[in-house]
């Protein structure tokens, strides 16, 4: 008979996990959405694949970790983990996929949010992060691989959506299934969370915060929101109630 799997104490599950390549990716791309989800009562986590070091302007990894912790506290997220994969040398490897999939199995999210495209003229780590995340979502549900995942239980992630960095233009290869999320109530938290990265956005780069705010306002304007963030779904978005989906405040009579 096969040996019985060891009993593993698991933490309280998260509803949503957002995955970035470096600390500050998530704040810039979807910090407002995460803060909104927290206010709505969801349990939210952030996983950074690397600590972003070395990087110009930061004296040590410890400083970057402290900035990330402060930013997470600003957004109100419940868990933030920084994995040990290498910045500037991040690649979609089997080991990286397994490392992230273990976190998905440990925290059992319903929704995973991650990079959705290349970022030309920016870090190639972003594209690698997308591939690692896609693979880890798949690996999380695979059976008969117990030892590989330290006997963490299998977990199937229900949904996945992609973000893009606020600085990046839309790509022609992006999915057409776009979602716009109202962050009118949390735009200030988003800006404050980005501001926590003092090593990355010193006073000389204050214009970056203006750009983040401006792009959020532009994303919200077509929907009548003060500010918004946009995402693309990996599959078409379906509904059985068109009125409630298109007019959220509508009530059935």
CATH number for 233: 3.40.50.10320
In a domain, 6, yes or no: no
In a domain, 8, yes or no: no
- 6 pLDDT tier (thresholds 50, 70, 90): confident
pLDDT digits (tens, 9 = 90+) for 179-221: 999 999 999 999 999 999 999 999 999 999 999 999 999 999 9
CA 66 to chain centre: 19
Does residue 89 sit within a domain? Answer: yes
Domain of residue 216, residue span: 16-246
10, part of any domain: no
224 occurs within a structural domain: yes
Asked if the structure places residue 5 within a domain, the reply is no
Task: Answer yes or no: are the C-beta atoms of 20 and 46 closer than 8 Å.
Answer: yes
Indicate the pairing of strand 111-115 with strand 16-20. Answer: parallel
124, part of any domain: yes
Q: How many domains does the chain have?
A: 1
Confidence category of residue 253, pLDDT binned at 50, 70, 90: very low
Interval 132-159 mean pLDDT = 97
Does a structural domain hold residue 252? no
Dihedral over Cα of 171, 231, 70, 205: its sign: positive
pTM for the structure as a whole: 0.93
Q: What is the pLDDT of residues 225-248, one digit of tens each?
A: 999 999 999 888 888 988 888 886
Over residues 40-45, mean pLDDT: 98
């Amino acid at each position: 008979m096969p040996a019985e799997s060891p009993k593993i104490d698991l933490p309280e599950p998260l509803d949503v996990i957002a995955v970035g390549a470096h600390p500050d990716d998530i704040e810039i791309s979807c910090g407002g959405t995460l803060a909104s989800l927290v206010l709505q009562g969801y349990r939210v986590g952030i996983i950074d694949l690397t600590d972003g070091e070395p990087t110009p302007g930061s004296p040590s990894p410890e400083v970057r970790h402290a900035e990330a912790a402060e930013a997470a506290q600003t957004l109100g997220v419940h868990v933030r983990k920084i994995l040990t994969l290498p910045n500037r040398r991040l690649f979609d490897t089997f080991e990286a996929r397994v490392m992230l999939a273990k976190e998905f199995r440990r925290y059992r999210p319903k929704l995973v949010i991650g990079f959705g495209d290349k970022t030309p003229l920016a870090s190639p780590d972003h594209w690698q992060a997308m591939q690692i995340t896609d693979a880890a979502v798949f690996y999380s549900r695979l059976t008969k691989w117990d030892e590989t995942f330290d006997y963490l239980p299998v977990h199937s992630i229900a949904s996945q959506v992609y973000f893009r960095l606020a600085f990046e233009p839309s790509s022609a290869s992006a999915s057409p299934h776009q979602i716009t999320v109202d962050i009118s109530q949390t735009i200030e938290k988003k800006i404050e969370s980005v501001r926590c990265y003092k090593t990355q956005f010193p006073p000389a780069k204050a214009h970056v915060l203006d750009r983040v705010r401006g792009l959020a306002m532009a994303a919200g304007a077509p929907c009548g929101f003060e500010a918004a963030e946009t995402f693309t779904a990996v599959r078409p978005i379906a509904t059985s109630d068109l009125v409630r989906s298109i007019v959220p405040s509508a009530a059935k009579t």
